[in-house]
């Protein structure tokens, strides 16, 4: 399953991690036990009990993501697509704060995940897709990322209009 794939990838990760919506206790224990990971911040995630973990994991607010972190200050971001509340702004914010990789996964069959991952290609990002049954994980490589500057505002508005059109069409069809 996706959980095993994430655990195998986490064993190789070095530096800092931002975890968003991680519910698997095994994944959190792997992060907590890894000596290569310097620190980990969690958003919208489960917490380890004091007796289970060392207490290196802490929480920050999702709305203050770009204010809290500097440019490329996080090595790796791991996010559950199903738990992200502000998906359009998450794209630009995650590219801004992450230096190496973004692991974006979904445990449910989600039709919009491919659309959101394709929006990352605007930043000159390559990705790898791993699909197992209805679970999917995207590994986004940010080594060659580019800044969009003022263009991101136009892309943000375009994405907003595209999403509104999708919601209206879904509403009319149902």
Of 50, 32, 30, whose CA–CA distance to 41 is shortest? 32
| pLDDT tens string 119-157 | 888 888 889 988 888 788 899 998 888 876 787 788 888
The dihedrals phi and psi of 86, each to the nearest 5 degrees, come to -115, 85
| pLDDT tens string 57-105 | 555 556 667 777 888 788 899 988 888 877 778 888 888 888 889 999 8
Report the C-alpha gap between 84 and 36 in whole angstroms. Answer: 26
The CB-based long-range contact list for 41-48 (8 Å cut-off, 24+ gap) reads 41/16, 41/17, 41/74, 43/18, 43/19, 44/20, 44/83, 44/85, 45/19, 45/20, 45/21, 46/22
**CB-CB contact of 141 with 101 (8 Å):** yes
The dihedrals phi and psi of 99, each to the nearest 5 degrees, come to -95, -45
Domain 2-146: CATH class, spelled out: alpha beta
Higher pLDDT, 92 or 44: 92
pLDDT-derived band at 51 (thresholds 50, 70, 90) equals very low
Higher pLDDT, 49 or 23: 23
Place of tokens 């959980």: 3
Three-class SS of residue 119?
A: helix
The pTM for the full model equals 0.81
* pLDDT beyond 60 at 55: no
Report the C-alpha gap between 16 and 98 in whole angstroms. Answer: 10
The domain spans of the chain are: 2-146
- Sign, CA dihedral 40-94-140-48, equals positive
Give the pLDDT confidence score for residue 50 in this predicted structure.
46
* pLDDT beyond 50 at 34: yes
């Amino acid at each position: 399953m996706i959980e095993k794939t994430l655990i195998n990838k986490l064993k190789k990760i070095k530096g800092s991690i931002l975890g968003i919506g991680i519910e698997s206790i095994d994944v959190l224990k792997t992060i907590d036990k890894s000596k290569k990971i310097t620190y980990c911040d969690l958003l919208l995630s489960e917490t380890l009990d004091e007796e289970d973990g060392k207490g290196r994991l802490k929480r920050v607010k999702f709305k203050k993501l770009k204010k809290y972190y500097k440019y490329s200050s996080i090595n790796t971001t791991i996010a559950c697509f199903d738990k992200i509340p502000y998906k359009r702004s998450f794209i630009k914010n995650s590219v801004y704060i992450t230096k190496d990789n973004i692991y974006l996964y979904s445990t449910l069959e989600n039709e919009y995940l491919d659309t959101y991952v394709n929006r990352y290609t605007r930043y000159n990002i390559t990705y790898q897709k791993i699909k197992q049954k209805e679970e999917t994980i995207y590994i986004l490589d940010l080594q060659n990322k580019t800044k969009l500057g003022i263009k991101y505002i136009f892309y943000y508005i375009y994405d907003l209009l595209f999403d509104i059109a999708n919601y209206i069409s879904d509403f009319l069809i149902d």
